[in-house]
Structure 1
């Protein structure tokens, strides 16, 4: 089922990509270490890969996500740690010719008295604008797929006074795409953005012998958000084990949890 869903999402994204023809050339996460009263400059590099002209609008929103897969885009000031009011785009609407590239510039103006130490963020939404073309040929509504990009703009203030605080919300073993997988929900209850990796050390329940260590991909984690990290343990035979789960960020801050792990034969 998951494989079919992922395939459907891939097909939708491919169709949207081909239809809109808009791609972001310089990444979807822009990070800055900031100081009081300073101004920082950035840009969003955009390309129209299609042969047809394409209008694109840009605007700011607040943004959060959770380990259950929910992603929330909302008006500025919804998030108490928003930096949206500091960011000014040099334009909110552009039109690109076929195969044309351009850059939309933005400035981050940090207040003279910034708030508490830690990370502040918002997202720049880049969304193709579709021309409305009424048609009398077919009855009903024509649905057009459009892909929107959300570019995170993360500003870290007085990082020496801030830190992530990772908490394990849940640990489950489930079969995904035919592979036994540990699903670890991790929340960042601290005030600093980080990029943790989770690992699991698995031990024989009776002898204490170490069976192996397995790791997840690294993912970014904003304050007051959570994500699910996936670890493939399909090489582990069905049984009950003792395990240590460790989340480590790029600054080598480590958070650990001991659990009982059951790998089922199904």
Structure 2
């Protein structure tokens, strides 16, 4: 996130150290809850700078898609946002060099037994850039200062029972690379619970003989979001192949698709 300060003229880059203030611990906090439950947690902060550093804390909705795009919307706008369930304190904190501090948060799940599946939002921790004086310039030309603002997004997830799991394979492409073939698959979560999927493919030749199982990457996908999976198939000769692709959630939710592949 870049903040532009000044007017047209000389360009001076003033990039803050990404680690001036860091969030200690996991950036995803997941809670298994029921209607009416209350959960509490904390976000630990540490100042790594030689100067005092200030951060502001606020909420955001969050979605992502397989093309790499991310959306940080107003809190509470998504159908499955839990931003309204969450309160936190403080909303701004200044840390001295070497100091640690804590953001406390509380999530109150509505007493609504119609709730089912996964609900999520983000608590954002964003560095407040310190004002920096402009350097003197002999010809008194105006200058521009660019401050790079670093922020952390902590995902707060509430998982309730009863949600439906559903996955759609929306795109596949076989890509020839220098080190071999790569099967690229986009998958969309059109269910009600978040999925933490590992994807693999078993490859068969034209005679139906298996050529092995090839493991791809693991991705977590919220409802209404999509993600890209890459499975390296190694170097294969030209010809017709079949692949059985499996996305495994590590529980009873397993999804599959079968593809005919042509290697030229």
TM tier relative to shorter chain? 0.7 to 0.9
In structure 2, the partner of 1:116 is 115
Aligned length: 247
**Structure with the higher strand share, 1 or 2:** 2
In structure 1, the partner of 2:54 is 55
How far residue 35 of structure 1 moved from its aligned partner, in angstroms, is 1.7
Question: 1:67-111: CA deviations, max 9, x gaps?
Answer: 111100010122011100010011110111112222211000111
Distance 2:199 2:15 in 1: 33
How far residue 125 of structure 1 moved from its aligned partner, in angstroms, is 0.8
**Structure with the higher helix share, 1 or 2:** 1
SS at match of 2:212: strand
Larger Rg: 2
Question: 1:150-182: CA deviations, max 9, x gaps?
Answer: 11101011x2x1132011011112256855322
| Contiguous gaps of at least 5 residues in structure 2 | 1-13
SS at match of 1:197: strand
- CA RMSD of superposed structures (Å): 2.0
Matches within 5 A, 1:1-266: 18-113=17-112, 115-135=114-134, 137=136, 139-157=142-160, 159=161, 161-175=162-176, 180-205=181-206, 207-264=207-264
How far residue 137 of structure 1 moved from its aligned partner, in angstroms, is 2.7
Question: 1:36-91: CA deviations, max 9, x gaps?
Answer: 22211011111122222110111101110111111000101220111000100111
**Residues 20, 54 of structure 1: 8 Å contact kept:** no
Q: Identify the structure with bigger relative contact order (alpha carbons < 8 Å, sequence gap 6+).
A: 2
Distance 2:209 2:177 in 1: 27
Distance 1:179 1:140 in 2: 50
| Contiguous gaps of at least 5 residues in structure 1 | 1-14
Question: 1:118-163: CA deviations, max 9, x gaps?
Answer: 1000001111000222415363311122221111101011x2x113
